Chains A and B, each alone.
Chain A
Amino acid sequence: MSLEDPQDQRGAQEGELVGVTDEGVDYDALEALLGDHVIGRESHVNAEAFVIRPDEVQDVLFALRDEAGFDHCSAVTAQEYEDRYESIYHLKKYDDPTQEVGVVVPTSKRAPRSQSAEPVYRTADWHEREAYDLIGIDYDEHPDLRRILLPETWQGHPMGLDYNQDQPQVVTFESHTNPLAEDQEDDESDTMFINIGPHHPATHGVLHLKTVLDGEQVADVKPDIGYLHRCEEQMAQSGKYRKEIMPYPDRWDYSSAGILNEWSYARAAEDLADLEVPEYAQVIRTMAAELSRMAGHMLAVGTFALDVYGDFTAIFQYAFRDREKILNLLEDLTGQRLMFNYLRLGGVAWDLPEPREEYFDKIRDFLDELPATVEEYHNLLSSNEIFQIRCVDTGVLEPDVAKSHGATGPVARGSGIDYDLRRDDPYGYYPELDWNVITEDGCDNYARVLCRLQEVEQSARIIEQCVDLLAEWPEEDREIQSNVPRTLRPDEDAEIYRAVEAAKGELGIYIRSDGTDKPARFKIRSPCFSNLQTLPEMAEGEYVPDMVASLGSLDIILGEVDR
């Protein structure tokens, strides 16, 4: 039960959000807001968390959303303990993501049932399906509680404690239905069911869109994911913190954005284990991360052009040509072109390549060419009239819809949501540097492309400043790694959710430590996973080509969606 006397403070400040103070979130006020709903309180490293009853989820979340302003459900983490199941809703605010709160929903071991949060946050739809799929919690009132990553026929929930990994998954041929067999033929209607993907030129990997077409228009589309599920969470849980987890993040968003992914794990683990990162290493990280972001955005713009232009046209090749240059720079730095494995807990793997001056010159040469390159993109792409009639006002994503679906990154910023963790939840060396967050108000495919193109320029500004800093850095101060214990054992039952701004948006990591040298629960909040959920909103009622363009403008990487 509530530890404190539930004083009724509700309605004291009409129109103002509860729990907002100058120092951050006033958790006591929030607890008072929730009153009897709160049956306990936990302290996570990132925020306080309230424990609530499983049948009061919606009441609590509605109160937190409408009266305390927590409009961003970052992620839903589910896990199984010896004595209970637990779903954690990580809530944030789009205005200020440092204001966080966790909502912990324990459910009984025998019948893990919990109320769905889908009516409050649309993004909970997929997150809860994943929790059901991998952990085995049932969500009441969920509109569509099916497996999401694993096949429908899978037996058991593989991240549960008593799951037998050696149990064969016997699936008879009959039960493993061919999607074509149950063809949704309906004599009454004129619609046509069509499978777009998993093998299709425009799905950017193995994504399956179950589409119902009315003529050429999309009547209904249901993304079906999981074809690239590689148990990344499970693998992270079986690796030791210090070195065995870091190679995996490179494989989530494999569009050369690896450094950003590594940083998400590094940031979470460093905060969890209370590790310092030397300033010099932070500058290197910032520079490398922005190089990664540029490469990722070039790929995004190039493949989007591929989707709209329809062929491997000039703009696609130019984007790839310029991405190669970035990969060369990253190769010099990390020794790898894609799977960098460059960050370490407490710093980076090694210093800049020698001779340093030569490396700086290389980066500066690249940055000097960049304005002309971006200009070329604008000439070929954004100022092309046909491109404009294809992209302006297609794939419209309204800001409140985007927020409800937990969209982040260029997808959110293209809808005018001013949300960038680099500025709003500062980490690395970003606060010391001079750069801008780009937003576009178009809410359409065009706005998202413009957003990415401008972000490339902002990344260039950041890199330029980092290079200047690194060039000036006194030789005796070049500490690339702090002292990190050989075996890292964070405190028992410490829990943290930390996110960084990856190329696609908010890439968050939840870690629960059980006092050993491996995480007890490792959850990845992938930006693509949430962003992809907005596709039906953008595509329904539009033409097939616009749906393809919208999908391209979301810039999903299936490796990160499926993990």
Chain B
Amino acid sequence: MGAFETVVLQSGSGSGSAEGAPLTDTIGGLLGFGSNMGPGETLVAAFIGAFFIGNLMLAMTGVAGPWAKRKITAAFTDRIAVNRVGPFGLLIIVADAVRLLSKELVVPDGVDRPAWDIAPILMAGSAMLGFAVIPMGNGIQLADPETGLVYVFAVSSLASLGLVTAGYASNNKYSLLGGLRSIAQNIAYEIPLVVTAASVVIFAGTLRLSEIVAAQTEPLITIVGVSIPSWYAFVNPFAFVLFMAANLAEVGRNPFDIPEAPTEIVAGYQTEYSSVYFVLMYLGEFLHIFLGGAIIATIFLGGPAGPVLPGIIWFIIKIWAVFLFTQWMRSAIPRVRIDQLIEIGWKGMLVLSFANLVLTAVIVGLIA
């Protein structure tokens, strides 16, 4: 018991700091592997850590997909939504899980079999991988590589590969259109996304996510005793807005939900998926929203920083706030047309994001 308490104390004190012990070491300490773990011990500790973080994210998705999404949308649209099963309808999560998993997996004729099977796994998996480097506070961070930010963008854009694979392998014209649309959209929006993130990197001077978080802890200005931290959302609000918009396109929510566009191309790339594969697709979609939220929280909202509550709680609050924002957009904003979307991406966002990057570079160069 004593060892456990020490660990909790250690991880608590390390929150938000670049020196915070990575989760693997913490778990290693907890298991009594000592401070110098061998490769085998590291592997075990890493698996346990991954299991913990993965389940945390899956649990959040489980709450978000069947329940929170319905409740939030209902609140926006004057409805009640699920309220029959359990308190506040919460047990609908169980009911939905059973329902979805017990459905028949319909495999249409002529699907390109290995590709068709890989796509949903790729989509859910790529989002899960991204969480490995996100500092969630209280020392919860699986790995902290030097190129953390690049890694996150790299794995999360693997999902595009999943989308286009699903679209092409389904042997369905709607899916094909959806796959093509998603590729066009993701290329058009990932560049502004990454370029905008690069402006943050110029400020922080590092790609290591824990250091980006640490750079946001100093107070920006203090007004009547209340100090506003130097979160990059406050330092560079323009970049924040750009990133939020590009992120909406990245996760495929209104006004950029073109790859799915139920009223046009049915459900795009996921038309032919049912049962478990559908769950994986859906899961991947929500994990991506949360991953987007996690990136936004990390590079713009000070990561796990916040008063009173532990860091992990703040972190979860922040990514749910981003989730709420995507649901708000979904309930209120019309979808743009595919050509308009490409136009906004290439002619608007790209130009703005480069302008932002150059301006940031100039300002930082002058100050520093």
Is the CB–CB distance between A216 and B339 below 8 Å?
Answer: yes
Is the CB–CB distance between B333 and A307 below 8 Å?
Answer: no
> Given the complex of chains A and B, what is the CA–CA distance between A305 and B333 in angstroms?
10
Residues of B62-98 whose CB lies within 8 A of A:
73, 76-79
| A372 is an interface residue with CB less than 8 A from chain B | no
Sample 28 A-B pairs with CB under 8 A, ordered by A number: A200-B266, A202-B264, A308-B334, A309-B254, A310-B257, A310-B261, A310-B263, A311-B331, A312-B77, A313-B254, A313-B331, A314-B76, A314-B77, A318-B78, A380-B332, A386-B255, A386-B333, A386-B336, A390-B334, A390-B335, A390-B337, A543-B339, A544-B265, A545-B261, A545-B264, A545-B335, A545-B337, A545-B338
- Known contacts A308-B335, A309-B333, A390-B334; is A544 also within 8 Å of B264 by CB? yes
The residue in chain A whose Cβ has the minimal distance to the Cβ of B253 is A311
| A120 is an interface residue with CB less than 8 A from chain B | no
Q: Which residue from B79, B177, B257 sits with its C-beta under 8 Å from A311?
A: B257
Interchain pairs with CB closer than 8 A, number: 88
Is the CB–CB distance between B338 and A390 below 8 Å?
Answer: no
> Given the complex of chains A and B, what is the CA–CA distance between A353 and B177 in angstroms?
54
| A387 is an interface residue with CB less than 8 A from chain B | yes
| A57 is an interface residue with CB less than 8 A from chain B | no
Q: Which residues of A contact B257 (CB under 8 A)?
A: 310-311
> Given the complex of chains A and B, what is the CA–CA distance between A387 and B340 in angstroms?
12
Is the CB–CB distance between A546 and B262 below 8 Å?
Answer: no
Q: Which residues of A contact B266 (CB under 8 A)?
A: 200-201
Most buried by A among B76, B254, B331: B331
> Given the complex of chains A and B, what is the CA–CA distance between A202 and B265 in angstroms?
9
Is the CB–CB distance between A317 and B77 below 8 Å?
Answer: yes
A→B interface (CB under 8 Å): 192, 194, 200-202, 216, 305-314, 316-318, 321, 380, 384, 386-387, 389-390, 543-546, 548
| B288 is an interface residue with CB less than 8 A from chain A | no
Given contacts A317-B78, A386-B336, A389-B336, 19 further A-B contacts (CB under 8 A): A192-B173, A194-B173, A202-B263, A202-B264, A308-B334, A309-B335, A310-B263, A310-B335, A312-B77, A313-B333, A314-B76, A316-B77, A389-B340, A390-B335, A390-B336, A543-B338, A543-B339, A545-B338, A546-B337
5 residue pairs, one from A and one from B, having the closest CB atoms: A317-B77, A202-B263, A310-B335, A309-B334, A386-B334
The residue in chain B whose Cβ has the minimal distance to the Cβ of A308 is B334
Is the CB–CB distance between B177 and A216 below 8 Å?
Answer: yes
Q: Distance (Å) between the CB of B189 and the closest chain A CB? A: 16
The residue in chain B whose Cβ has the minimal distance to the Cβ of A217 is B339
Q: Distance (Å) between the CB of B84 and the closest chain A CB? A: 19
A-contact bits for B332-352, CB 8 A (1 contact / 0 none):
111111111000000000000
> Given the complex of chains A and B, what is the CA–CA distance between A435 and B335 in angstroms?
35
- Where chain A touches its partner, the secondary structure class is helix
| B318 is an interface residue with CB less than 8 A from chain A | no
| B174 is an interface residue with CB less than 8 A from chain A | yes
The residue in chain B whose Cβ has the minimal distance to the Cβ of A544 is B264
Q: Which residues of A contact B208 (CB under 8 A)?
A: none
Q: Which residues of A contact B340 (CB under 8 A)?
A: 389-390
Is the CB–CB distance between A313 and B332 below 8 Å?
Answer: yes
> Given the complex of chains A and B, what is the CA–CA distance between A142 and B263 in angstroms?
34
A-contact bits for B314-334, CB 8 A (1 contact / 0 none):
000000000000000011111
Q: Which residues of A contact B339 (CB under 8 A)?
A: 216, 543
The residue in chain A whose Cβ has the minimal distance to the Cβ of B337 is A545
Q: Which residues of B contact A314 (CB under 8 A)?
A: 76-78, 331-332
The residue in chain A whose Cβ has the minimal distance to the Cβ of B262 is A201
Is the CB–CB distance between A216 and B338 below 8 Å?
Answer: yes
Is the CB–CB distance between A313 and B330 below 8 Å?
Answer: yes
Q: Distance (Å) between the CB of B338 and the closest chain A CB? A: 6
- Known contacts A194-B174, A201-B263; is A317 also within 8 Å of B79 by CB? yes
The residue in chain B whose Cβ has the minimal distance to the Cβ of A394 is B337
Most buried by B among A309, A316, A390, A543: A309
Q: Which residues of A contact B254 (CB under 8 A)?
A: 309-311, 313
> Given the complex of chains A and B, what is the CA–CA distance between A389 and B340 in angstroms?
9
Residues of B240-283 whose CB lies within 8 A of A:
254-255, 257, 261-266
Is the CB–CB distance between B263 and A318 below 8 Å?
Answer: no
> Given the complex of chains A and B, what is the CA–CA distance between A314 and B327 in angstroms?
11
Most buried by B among A216, A380, A384, A390: A216
